[in-house]
Structure 1
């Protein structure tokens, strides 16, 4: 089962996150084989705002354990956690994406919609890194979408990815590939 996990930073937690980076990476290393995508979100001045992890785990209990046993969560770095079932519509990982285009930035676009059992319109294109619906716990109901992509700006990422006609709320966050530096 695939899960989307977004730990949203508590305001002012960047020093704590920086102090705990090795603990965070060591924890994530344990899940390396299950990762579809990962990386930090941040503001234009590079202040951390969150941490995205998309993983393939055995079940919801394993996903909850992953999210709430994370060292930064345990230390109080995060204000909340968005944890949802997810479906990998591209069928690949972020490492399969390649280098992308140097003139583009990377973004996380989240859209939230009225719950529906129907498929929702998701984008396609070469700029997509990871894409899929956010699902109910049983996977039967779509409640939104999470898209990682490259775009020339946050405005382009938001306006070209998810339709405001279909999604009641759309969030755009600067994002980048994460993990231990090579």
Structure 2
């Protein structure tokens, strides 16, 4: 079973997060091949972008293991996160971020979140890196949809996951995460 874990940084936590990065990476090393996607959300797309959160989609045996993953994580324990969204994830595309091979030079990467039971299917696109449904931890209720996509800009990214009038799609600049050597296939 796959789980979606998105920790939103609390304001002013950037330096604390930087100080915990090695602990965070070491913690995630234990999950190696279980990771479907990982990486920070950012304030923008440029070199000066600052992290605003951490996304992890991970394959775990059950909800208890997912809770352990989310709440034993060094950023969480250290007080970096203001909130954590923890859901089951139904991986519609069935792939990991390392399987994505259609990268386009000059495009940015974005995390899209559309919450609500009636969020429609996304627009089919070769620019979907990972896409799935967000479900309650018991897998019963649909909470929304999430996607990691590649697009020329925020506005174009938002069109890939429409809300169907049930709200708005939250768009967060995002990048592949992990130790620099892990940002390519093989994790």
* TM-score, length-scaled by structure 1: 0.93
Q: Quote the Cα distance in structure 2 between the aligned partners of 1:108 and 1:147.
A: 6
Moved over 6 A (4+): none
Aligned to 2:152: 152
Q: Quote the Cα distance in structure 2 between the aligned partners of 1:61 and 1:100.
A: 35
Aligned to 1:62: 65
SS state at 2:53 partner: strand
Q: Quote the Cα distance in structure 2 between the aligned partners of 1:162 and 1:49.
A: 21
- After superposition, the Cα gap between the structure-2 partners of 1:96 and 1:90, relative to the gap in structure 1 and judged at 3 Å, is same
Gaps of 5+ in 1: none
The Cα of 1:102 is off from its aligned counterpart by 1.4
The Cα of 1:164 is off from its aligned counterpart by 3.2
Structure 2 contact 120–163 (Cα < 8 Å) conserved? no
Q: Quote the Cα distance in structure 2 between the aligned partners of 1:96 and 1:164.
A: 27
User: What is the root-mean-square deviation in Å for CA atoms of aligned residues?
Assistant: 1.5
Aligned to 2:35: 35
* TM-score, length-scaled by structure 2: 0.90
**1:30-76 deviations in whole A, cap 9, x for unaligned?**
11111000000011241110000001100000000000000111010
Aligned to 1:10: 10
The Cα of 1:86 is off from its aligned counterpart by 0.7
Structure 1 contact 122–132 (Cα < 8 Å) conserved? no
Q: Quote the Cα distance in structure 1 between the aligned partners of 2:170 and 2:89.
A: 17
Number of aligned residue pairs: give it: 178
